[in-house]
Structure 1
Amino acid sequence: MSSLTHTTTPANTPVERKATRSAGRRTSPNALLSKGVVNALLIVAAFYTLMPVSWLLFAATKSDRDLFSTSGFALGDFNLFANLHHVFTFNDGIYLRWFGNSILYSVVGSAASTFLCIATGYAFDTYDFKGKEKLFAAVLGGVLVPTTVIQLPMYLLATKVGIVNTYWALLLPALVNPFGVYLARVFSEGYVPNEVLEAARVDGAGELRIFAGISLPMLAPGFMTIFLFSFTASWNNFFGALVMLNDEKLYPVNLGLFMWNSVTQQQPEYYSLVITGSLVAVVPLIVAFVCLQRFWRSGLTAGAVK
């Protein structure tokens, strides 16, 4: 007579106990509290960021009378289009001239600066030459120098060259971006494999062709990330324009709005111009980040995983 042997599995195996502990950790009160705190901080940060823009949007819908007689976050008589027409046609459309100048300084200057940063960072990553790390350390030292500190020396140099009160007075200094060079080297290390470069050299490709045809397309996310940083810095470059420019036809939009705001105490009708003009000036930054955010997100994780 054969006997049947029943094998029983313990109810709490190590695997099950580990899964139970993991589930407990996922639903623990501390984890929920931490998640709640993080979400609360993000909500506060979003509120802090969006409140001024929201106030601008509400204030731009008001007439001069409603601007001072109603609550800050109350809608006016919806004079937004009338206010926009007033801004764009005031003083023979000088605001549109300022807006175009800002586009020129930010787009052209940032594109040229980003290309130089990408090329420089790629060279630091790819090639070995004497004094390479010391030179890169000097570049990193440039990151620590505030731009306001070097504005006076830059003005004196621009005076010697004769480019003060010209477009070049803002375009040429924008080409130098030490932080962009640092980011470009990080992006090159993360995106451009040395094996691909060696294979291209074996196939007989020159260095310029390798950079333009292989490395530069791989560095597209990094290019967009550096471009966004440069674009934002150029668009908000108020002090440099204040030092270098005297002709109002060369002003960027932020300096022009500052000049309008400086006379609001004597001429209160300028308030609506400043408010509506400030709202329009925010639009390019929003459009740039919304349209290029996928490149920006992927670029920020370039050096995270090797």
Structure 2
Amino acid sequence: MSTPVTTSVPAAPAEDSGRAKSAPRLRRAKAHRPGRPKRSKLLTALTSLVVLYTVAPLIWLAVNATKTQSGLGDSNGLWFADDFALWDNIHDTFTYHDGVFTRWLLNTLLYVVLGAGGATLLAVLGGYALAKFDFPGKRGIFATVIGAVAVPGTALAVPTFLMFSKMGLTDTPWAVVIPSLVSPFGLYLMWVFATEAIPTELLEAARMDGASEARTFFQVALPLLAPGIVTVLLFTTVATWNNYFLPLIMLKDPEWYPLTLGLSAWNSQAETVGGEVIFNLVITGSLITILPLIAAFLFLQKYWQSGLAAGSVKE
């Protein structure tokens, strides 16, 4: 029998072991987790400045809505006065000049329901048709829509006024509602959203099952378009709610003013001879004006955020 051969590893010299112990340790780089984005101090600082720039006017508006007319000039603009007059200001805003602020609020709601609601409906129908149907002139319509998005609304205000004055519609609610029905950006947004959100195979399956085009749209396509519809509705609502220049040139009767034009008229009273200075009511009315928009964005944010991301990722 052969005896097994054993090999022995020579021990390291004492000098080498001492050097190994005294060698400096290299600091390992921290592994970056994919789920946690890297923090940037510069980006954080810039974001903080943007947030401050956005929130500061709202804070100023909320603070000064609690002051009386005399308190606005006797106190710091970013802090409260000695007297808290918010509820009195709200009461005076709705009762001043025979409650005309309530009429302006109802006018604004009318313009939003008819104008923004109609613009959203037309954008949904047009965007769905452009996304899922092929017909001659589709490229021309696309170029027209893109060009209309690039044209500001103020550039079309004077031609619109001349056209409506020829038809005798100025100084009527239709002079504000009808131009609000046209929303090129809403149409383009619904076009892009419908292209990505509605699979063509799903529509073909519904048609093969005998569903008509109307039933296919209302029962199959419309539920899938809900995030895009809410997004377009919010954009058109904000645009109609804050519309100022178009009512300014179209309306002369204060009974048909929206909130933007009415508050501007109150603010201009201080510049007229013998006019009453009511800056406290203007500030309080402005605060009341933005509350519905803030509530709409807070309650519908999960829909419009998903609608904004539509079409941003190509699968």
Task: Note whether the superposition's TM-score is higher than 0.5.
Answer: yes
**Which among 170, 174, 178 is matched to residue 180 of structure 2?**
174
Structure 1 unaligned runs (5+)?
5-19
Instruction: Quote the Cα distance in structure 1 between the aligned partners of 2:110 and 2:50.
Output: 31
1:105, distance to aligned residue in structure 2 (A)? 1.1
Runs of 4+ in 1 over 6 A off after TM superposition: 1-4
1:189, distance to aligned residue in structure 2 (A)? 1.0
Structure 2 unaligned runs (5+)?
7-27
| Structure 1 equivalent of residue 138 of structure 2 | 132
1:116 alignment partner AA = L
1:265, distance to aligned residue in structure 2 (A)? 3.4
| Structure 2 equivalent of residue 121 of structure 1 | 127
Instruction: Quote the Cα distance in structure 2 between the aligned partners of 1:43 and 1:193.
Output: 41
Instruction: Quote the Cα distance in structure 2 between the aligned partners of 1:2 and 1:141.
Output: 90
Is 1:52 the equivalent of 2:60? no
Is 1:68 the equivalent of 2:73? yes
Instruction: Quote the Cα distance in structure 2 between the aligned partners of 1:3 and 1:69.
Output: 102
Is 1:246 the equivalent of 2:252? yes
Is 1:269 the equivalent of 2:287? no
Is the Cα–Cα contact under 8 Å of residues 69 and 278 in structure 2 kept in the other structure?
A: no
Q: How does 1:95-106 map onto structure 2 within 5 Å?
A: 95-106=101-112
Is 1:290 the equivalent of 2:298? yes
1:164 alignment partner AA = T
Is 1:201 the equivalent of 2:222? no
Instruction: Quote the Cα distance in structure 2 between the aligned partners of 1:246 and 1:107.
Output: 22
Q: How many pairs were matched up?
A: 285
Corresponding residue SS for 1:264: helix
Relative to 1, partners in 2 of residues 1:57 and 1:186: Cα closer, same or farther, differing over 3 Å? same
1:268, distance to aligned residue in structure 2 (A)? 5.4
1:255 alignment partner AA = L
Is 1:85 the equivalent of 2:118? no
What's the RMSD between the two structures over aligned residues?
A: 1.9
1:270, distance to aligned residue in structure 2 (A)? 1.3
Once the two structures are aligned, what percentage of the paired residues are identical?
A: 44
Instruction: Quote the Cα distance in structure 2 between the aligned partners of 1:2 and 1:304.
Output: 71
TM-score normalised by structure 2 residue count? 0.86
Corresponding residue SS for 1:295: helix
2:175 alignment partner AA = A
Instruction: Quote the Cα distance in structure 2 between the aligned partners of 1:262 and 1:165.
Output: 21
Instruction: Quote the Cα distance in structure 1 between the aligned partners of 2:53 and 2:257.
Output: 29
1:101, distance to aligned residue in structure 2 (A)? 1.0
Corresponding residue SS for 2:270: coil
1:242 alignment partner AA = L
Corresponding residue SS for 1:91: coil
